[in-house]
Amino acid sequence: MAAHRTQIGAAFAALSATTLAVTVSAAAPGVAQTSVGQANPVALITGAKSINATEERYDIKGTDLGIMWTDERGRILAAFGDTFGAGWAGVDSGFARPATIDWRSNTLARSTDRNPSDGMSFDNYVSDRPGHAKELLPSLKKEGVETTKIPTGGININGRNYLAYMSVRKFTEPGHWITNYSGVAYSDDGGQNWKDAPSARRPNTAALDNTFQMIAYARGDGYVYAFGTPNGRFGAAHLARVREDQLLDNSAYEYWTGQGWERGSSTIATPIVSGPVGELSVRFDKTLNSWEMMYLDESRKAIVLRLAPRPTGPWSTEIPVATADEYPDLYGGFLNPDSDGPDLYFTMTQYKAYNVMIMHAKLPASVIRAAKH
């Protein structure tokens, strides 16, 4: 459940024009330590007081994540995690009555707003009735069996949308959970209806250490790159790739071994980034001519960015973008497709507020120069 994803701390700070100066304590190789400038809240995009008024329009009082990708029509699709309706009294009220609190494990918004500088206005949510956002993939909502199904990545290939998710058996302590498997569902009607693909599931191991339990997608050179981590936020990141037309065929995946690409079991993959790595978001920035990776580093309680010339790396050291000192209980860090060059836009959640906002950070010139060389 959402209650265990991050430590409980101070309440959500009021959204304002106050800016955050983030000091970089680990800069890219060859780059002097510097400031990322200012990471600012741009707009709250979910919740009653958000620019999308989601409680009134879609019966979404609280939700998290906001994993974004573009579809064949140029729209942004944004996948959200555990979502609650008007009967929910907040994160401290518990989750024992799924029907009363209108608990949906996952929801999806659509947007034609391609200007993140003022937030992201939704055209609509995928709905099952007027005024009610639909649960895309039902879960059992039984702790110890299957508590929930949470999105981890999304991508559109030739008009078909794919959603990577994790089946969570149980949340244990902050930043830790146990998954049953990672899975993939797909939609051929713009996200309205989803079909699970059992053949694409990756069961967790008895030791709970399968390295592709949480998968984020990115495209490049005719491949879909699958960036994977184990369950929870403390494992390392690993990498696989597959031809775009074979995404649902686990036997077609190649894994990065550190020496090259090989087919076989995912156990042959070697880390591309050491842990702790939380939920991943990866994209290629054409202006920087660089790959970007964003995630929550639990050890430093910061959402961080890394840059690399290739998906395999070498990945730069972490560049903190937003910290828990300024934003208590932060998590997420999902890159907006319309980030461009020095302007970095991403979604972020704070646990106590339990809603999603668009953030903006400005990359300093030194980091940009390093990325282009």
Q: What length is written for the chain?
A: 373
- Cis peptide leading into residue 138 (ω within 30°): no
Print pLDDT tens along the chain (373 aa): 544 443 322 222 232 222 233 333 333 333 333 446 458 999 999 999 999 999 999 999 999 999 999 999 999 999 999 999 999 999 988 888 899 999 999 999 999 999 999 999 999 999 999 999 999 999 999 999 999 999 999 999 999 999 999 999 999 999 999 999 999 999 999 999 999 999 999 999 999 999 999 999 999 999 999 999 999 999 999 999 999 999 999 999 999 999 999 999 999 999 999 999 999 999 999 999 999 999 999 999 999 999 999 999 999 999 999 999 999 999 999 999 999 999 999 999 999 999 999 999 999 888 877 766 6
Distance CA 61, CA 101 (A): 10
With 0-12 / 13-18 / 19 or more C-beta atoms within 10 angstroms meaning exposed / middle / buried, residue 260 is: exposed
120 closest CA partner among 292, 338, 342 = 338
Given this model, what pLDDT does residue 7 score?
33
Given this model, what pLDDT does residue 364 score?
87
Given this model, what pLDDT does residue 366 score?
82
Give φ, ψ of 244 to 5 degrees: -55, -35
Angle (CA) 106 318 64, round 5°: 15
The 3-state secondary structure of the chain, one letter per residue: CHHHCCCCCCCCCCCCCCCEEEECCCCCCCCCCCEEEEEEEEEECCCCCCCCCHHHHHCCCECCEEEEEECCCCCEEEEECCEECCCCCCHHHCCCCCCCCCCECCEEEEECCCCHHHCCCCCEECEEECCEECCCCCCCCECCCECEEEEEEEEEECCEEEEEEEEEEEECCCCCEEEEEEEEEEECCCCCCCEECHHHCEECCCCCCCCCCEEEEEEECCEEEEEEECCCCCEEEEEEEEEHHHCCCHHHCEEECCCCEEECCHHHCCCCEEEEECCCEEEEECCCCEEEEEEEECCCCEEEEEEECCCCCCCCCCEEEEECCCCCCEEEEEECCCCECCEEEEEEEECCCCEEEEEEEECCHHHHHHHCC
272 closest CA partner among 312, 305, 234 = 312
Given this model, what pLDDT does residue 36 score?
62
Given this model, what pLDDT does residue 372 score?
67
Q: Any idea of the CA torsion for 177, 331, 71, 231, to the nearest 10 degrees? A: -20
Given this model, what pLDDT does residue 38 score?
58
Given this model, what pLDDT does residue 290 score?
96
The side-by-side arrangement of strands in the sheet containing 290-297 is 281-285, 290-297, 302-308, 319-323
CATH of domain 2-13+21-371: 2.115.10.20
Distance CA 27, CA 29 (A): 6
Q: How many CB atoms lie within 10 A of CB 6?
A: 26
Question: β-strands 281-285, 330-335: how paired?
Answer: unpaired
Given this model, what pLDDT does residue 373 score?
63
Distance CA 128, CA 106 (A): 13
Distance CA 2, CA 268 (A): 32
Given this model, what pLDDT does residue 39 score?
82
Can you read off the two tokens belonging to residue 291? 């790959």
Please give the biggest Cα pair distance in the chain: 55
Q: Output Rg (C-alpha) for the chain, integer angstroms.
A: 19
- Please tell me the number of Cα atoms within 13 Å of 316 on its side-chain side: 30
Given this model, what pLDDT does residue 274 score?
98
Given this model, what pLDDT does residue 367 score?
80
Answering whether pTM is above 0.85, one says: yes
Can you read off the two tokens belonging to residue 111? 């947007």
